[in-house]
Amino acid sequence: MLTPKQQELLRFIQDRLEKDGVSPSFEEMKDALDLRSKSGIHRLINALEERGFIRRLPNRARALEVMKLPEAIGRAARPSPKAAPQPPRALPVAANDVIEIPLHGRIAAGVPIEALEGTAMLSVPAALLGSGDHYALEVAGDSMAEAGILDGDFALIQRTDVAREGQIVVALIDDMEATLKYFRREGAKVRLDPANSAYQPQYYDPRQVRIQGKLAGLLRRYN
């Protein structure tokens, strides 16, 4: 059994997720429930989580998922006895969540450098990523500048070991050096193309090159 305030908060979260796909902030919850401080919201959130009505999505900031609704809230949405049964509707999940992905050092966008592995994590808006496993690399160099990939950007990479013609990929060369380039084939060779007229394409035997992933997005900091 939920208290009136718990029901009011759960309804507010559900309405916002249905309307915008974005969970409300704690400040918005405080104002909606006319509370004086956010500590009251924290207590209500904890109570709803303990009772299984909501859950916080792991490794994501400010993202809540409504797991179920109490009968008092959900009754209006029930079909009448004469209505055809409706399939269960998936509850919306927040679209403003943030995912932490591994940050694996710096990758050259000019000439290959030694591939670095690290244990740092980078917080990335989930909207920038698609399905699959991802990691991030910090770009060093300017050879992909004409593709909008600049020195200091974070390249968001979807793990894959295959690539199509013309995709921007992370290519591991001779199992020790990594580079970010357009992937193409030319005869019996693999050609890795820069996006900067000041740099020349790089040619390799296919046995020298292993695809480590393809570009899924970019994250840029202005500071």
What lies within 8 Å, CB to CB, of 130 at 6+ separation is 158, 216
DSSP string, 121-148: EEEEEGGG--SS-EEEEEEESSTTGGGT
pLDDT at 115: 52
Active site annotation includes 143: yes
What lies within 8 Å, CB to CB, of 44 at 6+ separation is 5, 6, 9, 29, 33
Same domain, 109 and 45: no
pLDDT at 175: 82
Coil/strand/helix, residue 214 = strand
**Catalytic pick among 30, 37, 80, 181:** 181
Same domain, 70 and 104: no
Q: Which of 195, 101, 37 is nearest to 29 (CA)?
A: 37
| Six token digits for residue 43 | 């207590």
Same domain, 144 and 176: yes
Same domain, 138 and 211: yes
**Per-residue pLDDT at 91 exceeds 70:** no
Same domain, 181 and 141: yes
Of 9-13, 17-21, 194-198, the range with the lowest mean pLDDT is: 17-21
Same domain, 183 and 106: yes
Alpha-carbon distance values, 196 to 66, 152, 180 (Å): 48, 16, 12
Q: What percent of the chain has pLDDT over 70?
A: 79
pLDDT at 18: 83
The number of helix segments (H) and strand segments (E) in the chain equals: 4, 12
Q: Average the pLDDT over 65-74 and give the result.
A: 72
Same domain, 70 and 126: no
pLDDT at 65: 81
Same domain, 135 and 200: yes
Q: Average the pLDDT over 160-168 and give the result.
A: 93
What's the CATH number where 109 sits? 2.10.109.10
**Catalytic pick among 68, 143, 189, 214:** 143
Same domain, 188 and 135: yes
In a domain? residue 86: no
- State which residues form the domain around 46: 4-77
Same domain, 140 and 213: yes
User: Domain tally for the chain?
Assistant: 2
Q: Whole-prediction pTM value?
A: 0.56
Same domain, 141 and 32: no
pLDDT at 107: 81
Active site annotation includes 181: yes
Same domain, 27 and 72: yes
pLDDT at 111: 55
pLDDT at 106: 81
**Per-residue pLDDT at 167 exceeds 80:** yes
Alpha-carbon distance values, 187 to 50, 200, 206 (Å): 62, 18, 11
In a domain? residue 62: yes
Give the tens place of pLDDT for each residue, 170-223: 999 988 888 999 999 999 999 999 999 999 999 999 999 999 999 999 988 775
